[in-house]
Amino acid sequence: MLGRLRSRAEDLYERVLAAELSETPTHVAVIQDGNRRYASKEGADKREGYRAGADTTEALLNWCDEFGIEEVTLYTFSTENFDRSEEERELLFDLIEEKLLEFADADRVHESEVRIRAIGELDRLPERVRDAVAYAHERTGDYEKLHLNIALAYGGRAELLEATRQIARDVAAGERDPADVDVDAVEDALYEGPRHDVDLILRSGGDERTSNFLPWQANGNEAAVCFSAPYWPEFRKIDFLRAIRTYENREEIRRQSRARRAKALVGALGGTARAGNDSPVERAASTARGGDTDERSGEHTDVDPAD
């Protein structure tokens, strides 16, 4: 009886949260933490924890499709995960291969037009995993509705380091002038995959760190970050909606901050009365208050995203 009442209350709260949403992020990056700890809590082996986490990941993709989110990046296997035992690495590689092949052929993936791509040092992965990555990309490469990036053998510092090396090679070969190295040049040298800056980083499992995940794409500290207590297999739609609310609150604070700065600028230049309603200053203030544009603009190496 108590369980049914709790379930009804959660359903009601979920509907309230969904109804209150006014905007959703374009790109959500997810650190799926707590699979092993969940298995230990439940008295199950690690494999069962990982499989339960994979079920949550499938549910997450459905939620993202429901709320019109355009891009999701999943921290699935970090460069630090290579330090785990061979037995556990092989377990993870088996599951990753299985899920990539399953996703690539799933009707719901094709109906939702999900494009699957992997990012990271893919040459460090076993051949069977690389083959599964290639198959998923081939099967879904023409879709554009929801972009799903699977971070495999990924580390944010490693990505930035390789981008720096590539730019240095271009400069040494005379193909690029150092003065021309700008934001676009760095982004061109990063792993091919993410199309948008990250709006929201979500981490389950209780740890409050972003663990070397997409530091460039998170645009410094501009991405909203939500740390959720439940282990990944226990993560619910309610938790996801709370994370989106964190993003909304962050965006509102940014808008208010821009409006305050614009107001201060107007005051410093003589006030709105002297600036005039059609002046560049007044137009900037109006924009900062949210009138004309939707402006959008990340480290810790002991990451355990598959934990």
Q: Beta partners for 265?
A: none
Contact yes or no for 118/133 (Cβ under 8 A): yes
Contact yes or no for 167/190 (Cβ under 8 A): no
Catalytic pick among 81, 197, 304, 307: 81
| C-alpha to C-alpha distance for 202 and 25, rounded to whole angstroms | 12
Q: DSSP assignment, residue 300? A: -
Tokens (6 digits) for 165 = 């090396």
| C-alpha to C-alpha distance for 189 and 177, rounded to whole angstroms | 15
Which residue from 252, 250, 260, 268 is spatially nearest to 285, judged by alpha carbons? 260
Under DSSP, is residue 305 helix (H, G, I), strand (E, B) or coil?
Answer: coil
Whether 221 is a known active-site residue: answer no
Which residue from 248, 256, 296 is spatially nearest to 17, judged by alpha carbons? 248
Angle 187-66-60 (CA atoms, 0-180°, nearest 5)?
A: 70
Sheet (strand 200-203) strand order: 114-119, 146-154, 71-78, 27-31, 200-203, 224-227
Whether 81 is a known active-site residue: answer yes
Other beta carbons within 10 angstroms of residue 253's beta carbon come to: 11
| C-alpha to C-alpha distance for 110 and 138, rounded to whole angstroms | 12
Catalytic pick among 33, 65, 304, 307: 33
Tokens (6 digits) for 63 = 């939620």
Beta strands in the chain (DSSP E): 27-31, 71-78, 114-119, 146-154, 200-203, 224-227
| C-alpha to C-alpha distance for 129 and 146, rounded to whole angstroms | 22
Query: Catalytic positions, please?
Result: 33, 81
